[in-house]
Amino acid sequence: MEIEISHSKEKIKRKFDSNLLFFLIGIILAIIGIFNNTALLVAIGALVSIMAGLRFFDLKKKSLPRLLLNEDGIVDNISWVCYGLIEWKDIIGFRTNTKFKNIILIDVKNEVRYLEQLRVNRRFGATYKRSLKNDDLGYGTPVFLDVTSLNEDTDTVLLKIKDFRDQIKNSAENI
């Protein structure tokens, strides 16, 4: 028994288009900077293009199952910050974030374990993990799901997760 929640193709297309626009703006800025002999403009243009280019790699892997609910737990592959398997036995509860409506916070028993298995971009990974460990983001837990790019809204995803968890608990009790 498993439930798969995939990305919204419309949202991916919108992200791709805006990413392409930023990439082109960066190239144009760099070219203008070269012709005007302005190093700052070249640097800004190059930086914008590089950042937009890196986002293309994240968009490329959007065809994978993004959020998978199975007997073991929640398999998170939503974004470039993902936890992999979050086991049901470690989950204490769920909350939504009041500041950011598209984030589901997951309270877990062993936060250190999930910080260690967190898969993030190599360049920013250490800093990001440190921020989560110190709770610099203000979430109260280092484990969260950003459901912005999924087909479902936050409330629907949260309801599916809770219902699936209840089904798993009930089937385990009946055995």
> Where do the structural domains in the chain lie, given as residue ranges?
7-63, 67-173
What pLDDT, on the 0 to 100 scale, is given for residue 87? 92
* Of 111, 94, 78, 72, the residue nearest 160 (C-alpha): 94
- Averaging pLDDT over each range in 95-99, 104-108, 142-146, which range is the top one? 104-108
Taking only the tens place, the pLDDT of each residue in 120-152 is: 655 555 666 666 666 545 677 778 888 887 888
Using the predicted structure, report yes or no on whether residue 68 has a pLDDT greater than 80: yes
What is the residue whose two structure tokens read 């086991």? Answer: 87
Selected residue with higher pLDDT from 155 and 17: 155
- pTM, two decimal places: 0.66
1 within 8 A of 71, measured Cβ to Cβ:
yes
What average pLDDT does this structure show over 4-23?
78
Strand order in the sheet with 67-69: 3-5, 67-69, 73-76, 84-87
Using the predicted structure, report yes or no on whether residue 55 has a pLDDT greater than 80: no
